[in-house]
Amino acid sequence: MFINWALQEIYIKIVYYGPGLSGKTTNLQRIYNQIDPTHRGEMVCLKTMEERTIFFDFMQFELPAIHGKRPKFSLYTVPGQYYYAASRRIILNGVDGVVFIADSQRNRLRDNLDSLLDLEKNLIRYNRSLEQIPWVIQFNKQDMEDLVGIEELQSKLNFNAVPYFTAVAVQGTGVRETLKTIINNVIGEIERKWHVENS
Selection from Mg ion, ligand GTP, none that 97 binds (CB < 5 to 8 A by kind) is none
Instruction: Pick out residues in 54-113 that bind ligand GTP (CB under 6 A).
Output: 77, 79-81
Is 23 a binder of ligand GTP (CB under 6 A)? yes
Phi-psi region of 172 (alpha: psi -120 to 50; beta: other; left: phi over 0): left
Instruction: Pick out residues in 165-194 that bind ligand GTP (CB under 6 A).
Output: 168-170
Phi first, then psi, for residue 97 (nearest 5°) are: -160, 150
- Between CA 61 and CA 75 the distance in angstroms is 8
- The least CB distance from residue 2 to ligand GTP, in Å, is 26
- The least CB distance from residue 6 to Mg ion, in Å, is 35
Residue of 10, 12, 14, 25 that binds ligand GTP (CB under 6 A): 25
Taking a C-beta distance cutoff of 8 angstroms, is the pair 50, 58 a contact? no
- Residue 135 CB-density burial (10 A; 0-12 exposed, 13-18 middle, 19+ buried): buried
Nearer CB in complex with ligand GTP: 149/188:
149
Is 44 a binder of ligand GTP (CB under 6 A)? no
- The three-point CA angle 70-57-42 to 5° equals 55
Instruction: Pick out residues in 123-162 that bind ligand GTP (CB under 6 A).
Output: 140-141, 143-144
- Between CA 171 and CA 143 the distance in angstroms is 10
Residue of 12, 14, 21, 75 that binds ligand GTP (CB under 6 A): 21
> Measured between alpha carbons, how far is residue 154 from residues 50, 151, 162, 164, 166 in Å?
31, 5, 10, 8, 11
What track of x and - describes contact with Mg ion for positions 22 through 51 (by CB under 5 A)?
A: --xx--------------------------
5's CB contacts (< 8 A; 6+ apart) are none
Binding residues for Mg ion, rule CB under 5 A, total 3
List 77's β-bridge partners, or say none. 16, 57
Q: Which residues bind Mg ion (CB under 5 A)?
A: 24-25, 53
| Residues contributing to the site for ligand GTP (CB under 6 A) | 18, 20-26, 51-53, 77, 79-81, 140-141, 143-144, 168-170
